[in-house]
Copies of this chain bind each other. A is one copy, B any other.
Amino acid sequence: MSSRRIFLHQASLSALAMTIPSLPNFAEAMSSRNDQEGVLRVAIMGLGSYGTRVAQAMESSKRAKVVGVISGTPSKVENWKKKYGIPDKNCYNYENFDAIKDNPDIDAVYVITPNALHKEQSIRVAKAGKHVICEKPMAINAAEAKEMVTACEEAGVKLLIGYRLHFEANTLKVVNMRKAGDFGDIKFFQGLSGFMIGDPTQWRLDPALSGGGAMMDIGIYSINGARYMVGEEPIWVTAQEVKTDPVKFKEGIDETITFQLGFPSGVVASCLSTYSQNNLDKFFLNGTKGFAEMQPSTGYGPIKGRTHQGALDEPHIMHQTVQMDQMAGIILDGAEPPIPVDGREGLKDMVIIDAIFEAVKTGGKVAISV
């Protein structure tokens, strides 16, 4: 009964309770090929700073465990082997990881590599018959994202995108208030996403690896946030780019873009994506009956803010811990997340990013259908 106890523990997050469907029966849960009673056995691909953060968060996860690594850096692999007790047979590099197909002790691979590598790597994982968890942005454009969705569907594996905030309690409180009509008719969303990026030699500033600048990395939070906060899909995009440092932010790397999303009901979202400002990470949702303000709205620490009803004070749990617990439920139990985190969800953000870049180029309004 351990998996049921674990599940109930998670369900005690009040904000999630109403959105998590009933547990599949015990026999079903046990019928998975997983031999650790409802624990998702994950290999991390890419042992950089975010991969390290995810692994640390998984130490507190009741349902997901780091059991393998894929890395091009042997010294990192050695460290991870020691830290997480990973056996040699679960360690791969970027040349040989297709062999994971023959490893019955790994259920899923979490792809946490530079954006431009996600597509090829995710498709190789899918073809190896393993579930794919891919960090956002899932790819560098919508065409790549579609290929990934198709490949995973054809391989019969799940494709989940690392949208940790889709499980975050204060975020879900606001989303549930919106669904309950507490804000009245939604009218406006504002997302300000950005930070002053440091080291100019990092891969995020190399267009061949990142596929874009601030928009891919941090602007996507305002795009994705606009969608789950408003609860509609945008039908048009306008965007304006400003570049003040063309040396650091070379061709193909956006520094600052303001963009607007129009929704069918007439809601408009006004957003900022930037690599040259701190003091941001703000969401504001406004309706005819009330509002929500969140700051920080997407950072790794506690999400804070208030609505017209009072403070957003759901307890903080490390986002990636909750995410991995919940993703285990999605993969192993067929659970439905409170807000979608699958490949088709990620594809929508990529369609919008494509449209934003097009709007910057054309200077006009770009119609979209996601």
CB within 8 Å of B: which residues of A? Answer: 187-188, 190, 192, 196, 238, 240, 242-244, 256, 258, 260, 262, 265-268, 270, 272, 274, 276-277, 279-280, 282, 284, 286, 288, 290-291, 308, 363-365
Do residues A286 and B279 form an inter-chain contact, with CB atoms below 8 A? yes
Determine the distance from Cα of A244 to Cα of B188 in the docked complex, in whole angstroms: 12
Sample (30) of A-B pairs whose CB atoms are under 8 Å apart: A187-B256, A187-B277, A188-B274, A190-B190, A190-B192, A190-B272, A192-B284, A238-B238, A238-B240, A238-B363, A240-B260, A240-B262, A240-B268, A242-B266, A242-B267, A242-B268, A244-B265, A256-B268, A258-B260, A258-B268, A268-B272, A277-B288, A279-B286, A279-B290, A279-B291, A280-B286, A282-B284, A363-B364, A363-B365, A364-B364
> Which of A244, A260, A262, A365 is most buried by chain B, counting CB atoms within 10 A of its CB?
A260
Determine the distance from Cα of A96 to Cα of B314 in the docked complex, in whole angstroms: 66
The residues of B that contact A187 with a CB separation of less than 8 Å are: 244, 256, 274, 276-277
Determine the distance from Cα of A188 to Cα of B193 in the docked complex, in whole angstroms: 12
| Number of identical protomers | 2
The residues of B that contact A188 with a CB separation of less than 8 Å are: 192, 256, 272, 274, 277
Interface of A: prevailing SS = strand
Do residues A196 and B288 form an inter-chain contact, with CB atoms below 8 A? yes
Closest-CB distance, A355 to chain B (whole angstroms): 14
The residues of B that contact A240 with a CB separation of less than 8 Å are: 238, 260, 262, 268, 365
The residues of B that contact A256 with a CB separation of less than 8 Å are: 187-188, 266, 268
Closest-CB distance, A191 to chain B (whole angstroms): 11
Do residues B266 and A243 form an inter-chain contact, with CB atoms below 8 A? yes
Determine the distance from Cα of A268 to Cα of B243 in the docked complex, in whole angstroms: 10
Do residues A262 and B242 form an inter-chain contact, with CB atoms below 8 A? yes
Q: Across the interface, name the chain B residue whose C-beta is closest to A255.
A: B266
Closest-CB distance, A128 to chain B (whole angstroms): 45
The residues of B that contact A274 with a CB separation of less than 8 Å are: 187-188
Determine the distance from Cα of A270 to Cα of B188 in the docked complex, in whole angstroms: 13
Q: Across the interface, name the chain B residue whose C-beta is closest to A292.
A: B279
Determine the distance from Cα of A80 to Cα of B230 in the docked complex, in whole angstroms: 49
Q: A258-B260, A262-B240, A279-B290 are in contact. Are A270 and B268 (CB under 8 A)?
A: no
Determine the distance from Cα of A256 to Cα of B270 in the docked complex, in whole angstroms: 12
Determine the distance from Cα of A211 to Cα of B267 in the docked complex, in whole angstroms: 25
> Which of A270, A274, A282, A363 is most buried by chain B, counting CB atoms within 10 A of its CB?
A270
The residues of B that contact A291 with a CB separation of less than 8 Å are: 279
Partner of A286, one of B267, B277, B290, B363: B277
Determine the distance from Cα of A279 to Cα of B266 in the docked complex, in whole angstroms: 18
Determine the distance from Cα of A308 to Cα of B288 in the docked complex, in whole angstroms: 31
**5 tightest Cβ-Cβ pairs between the two chains A and B:** A244-B266, A279-B291, A187-B277, A258-B270, A363-B364
Determine the distance from Cα of A256 to Cα of B279 in the docked complex, in whole angstroms: 27
The residues of B that contact A243 with a CB separation of less than 8 Å are: 266
The residues of B that contact A266 with a CB separation of less than 8 Å are: 242-244, 256
The residues of B that contact A276 with a CB separation of less than 8 Å are: 187, 288
The residues of B that contact A270 with a CB separation of less than 8 Å are: 258, 270, 272
The residues of B that contact A192 with a CB separation of less than 8 Å are: 188, 190, 284
User: Can you add 16 more A-B contacts, CB < 8 Å, to A196-B288, A242-B268?
Assistant: A187-B244, A188-B192, A188-B274, A188-B277, A190-B192, A192-B284, A240-B260, A240-B268, A242-B266, A242-B267, A243-B266, A244-B265, A258-B260, A270-B270, A279-B286, A279-B291
